């Protein structure tokens, strides 16, 4: 069974929803039967190429009081799910390069390696304060996920995958994708936003005819 998820590395809810999906698959004992494919989406397509503290961006968008309340709540929710969010050290940056790398992982190594890389990118962004547009750090993450470092370095030094990722993001917007994460199941079922591990497990069973 193939499930597609539209999301952005810079989306904390995508981090949470993907984590819950993998937990639902594990609970169902369906690791060998379910393939999760990450499709690109950018919350802020014109985000700057140079990193800046994520909290500066959040405060600029929502104001200091609301920003503080939002990140405190997200941190609390994440902790309850076993996810560590460190908004105080997270660096906001354009995620196109990270999506290009996910595109490469899928096309050359398959969905399992892509999923491992996606988790590594989420942790790098939200937990470790990594600039996920930095080629050196991206190469390190990709190697740990199973990609060849030389291939990744060569890939990042070119424009390969850029047009394909931009086209996929544009196609998602034309198709009405405005909220992520967005899970699309084989049977056409959709789960939009974070609904929890149980709801994802139910959707998996229904899509698998169980």
Interhelix angle 12-27/64-81, rounded to 10 degrees, is 10
Residue 43 has a pLDDT of 94
Terminal CA-CA length for the chain: 12
Mean pLDDT value of segment 62-82: 96
- Is the peptide bond prior to 181 cis by the omega test (within 30 degrees of 0)? yes
Token output for 39: 């499709």
- Rounded Cα distance between 194 and 20, Å, is 9
Token match 């906001």: residue?
A: 92
Token output for 17: 């929803």
Residue 208 has a pLDDT of 80
pLDDT category at 207 given cuts 50, 70, 90 is confident
Mean pLDDT value of segment 56-83: 96
Give residues with Cβ within 8 angstroms of 147, minimum separation 6.
104, 105, 108, 109, 113, 117
Token output for 116: 């491992």
Residue 30 has a pLDDT of 87
Do 161 and 155 contact (CB within 8 A), yes or no?
yes
Do 24 and 59 contact (CB within 8 A), yes or no?
no
List pLDDT tens digits, range 41-54: 999 999 999 999 99
The count of other CB atoms within 10 Å of the CB of residue 199 is 14
pTM for the full predicted model: 0.95
Q: With respect to CATH, is domain 2-207 assigned 3.40.30.10?
A: yes
Average pLDDT, the chain: 95
Mean pLDDT value of segment 91-103: 98
Do 100 and 161 contact (CB within 8 A), yes or no?
yes
- Rounded Cα distance between 36 and 185, Å, is 10
Q: Please name every residue paired with 92 in a beta bridge, in sequence order, or none if there are none.
A: 52
Q: Where are the beta strands (DSSP E) in 20-155?
A: 35-40, 52-53, 91-92
Mean pLDDT value of segment 158-175: 96
DSSP state of 174: H
- Rounded Cα distance between 106 and 196, Å, is 26
List pLDDT tens digits, range 117-165: 999 999 999 999 999 999 999 999 999 999 999 999 999 999 999 999 9
- 210 pLDDT above the threshold of 60: no
Q: Please name every residue paired with 32 in a beta bridge, in sequence order, or none if there are none.
A: none
Say how far residue 141 (Cα) sits from the centre of its chain.
14
Residue 106 has a pLDDT of 98
């Amino acid at each position: 069974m193939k499930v597609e998820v539209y999301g952005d590395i810079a989306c904390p809810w995508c981090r949470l929803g993907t984590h819950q999906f993998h937990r639902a698959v594990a609970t169902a004992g369906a690791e060998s039967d379910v393939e999760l494919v990450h499709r690109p989406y950018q919350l802020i397509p014109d985000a700057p190429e140079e990193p800046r503290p994520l909290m500066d961006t959040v405060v600029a968008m929502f104001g200091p009081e609301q920003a503080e309340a939002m990140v405190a709540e997200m941190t609390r929710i994440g902790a309850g799910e076993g996810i560590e969010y460190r908004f105080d050290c997270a660096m906001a940056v354009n995620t196109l390069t990270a999506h290009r790398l996910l595109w490469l992982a899928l096309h050359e190594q398959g969905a399992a390696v892509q999923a491992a890389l996606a988790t590594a990118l989420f942790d790098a962004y939200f937990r470790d304060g990594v600039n996920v547009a930095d080629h050196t750090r991206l190469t390190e993450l990709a190697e740990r996920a199973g990609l060849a470092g030389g291939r990744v370095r060569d890939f990042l030094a070119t424009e390969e995958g850029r047009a394909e990722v931009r086209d996929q993001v544009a196609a998602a917007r034309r198709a009405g994708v405005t909220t992520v994460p967005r899970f699309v199941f084989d049977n056409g079922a959709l789960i939009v936003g974070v609904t929890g591990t149980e709801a994802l497990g139910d959707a998996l069973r229904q899509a698998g005819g169980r």
